Amino acid sequence: MRLTRWQKWLLVIVALGGLLWLFDRWRLWQENAHDKTIAAAARKYGVDPALIKAVIWRESRFDPKARGRRGEVGLMQIMEPTARDWAKAENRTLVFHTELFDPQKNIECGTWYLRRLLLRYPQTDNPLPYALADYNAGRANVLKWLNGPAATNSAAFVQAIGFPSTRAYVIAVMERHAHYRKTWRPPKS
């Protein structure tokens, strides 16, 4: 039996639809693969699990093998100095920075660090944008952007962020955080 031209196109469209459906299922599975680890780290360090998930979404799109240009690794894109500080604070031995490709260690370290950053800005109306900018661009840059109203007003601070990529990062994570708070329920385990 010979297929007509429109039948061939229909077959291609159905095949592409199936591939897109499979890709969407895989992406959803990947996005939820570390939920128990996220929930455990959130409980341990007192950080909103939706925030942790939003940071992971932005940093690595849930790829535990992700590598950054400046040596960041894993789900939360952890730098080696941060890993050493975490290991010391938690009385853990961290032999190699590459151990942070382990999702549990990476999420614990990243959550510990995120908690530290959130506690760094208690004088503000909302420490979240300050902590996210710090996570992305570093403390020295955040201190440069803390002028006038930006010192205590988070909306003014977001506008004062000097790097467009960091401003976009902060806005994207905050939007995704709000999304996860509405749509995602972390496991209780």
Supply the residues annotated as catalytic. 59
Measured distance CA(144)–CA(126) in Å, rounded: 18
Tokens of 79: 């730098």
Question: What are the Cα distances from residue 179, in Å, to 41, 95, 128, 167?
Answer: 20, 37, 15, 18
Please list the residues that pair with 78 across neighbouring strands.
Answer: 73
What's the burial of 65, exposed, middle or buried (CB within 10 Å: 0-12/13-18/19+)?
exposed
Tokens of 94: 């961290």
Question: What are the Cα distances from residue 22, in Å, to 10, 34, 153?
Answer: 18, 20, 44
Tokens of 4: 């007509």
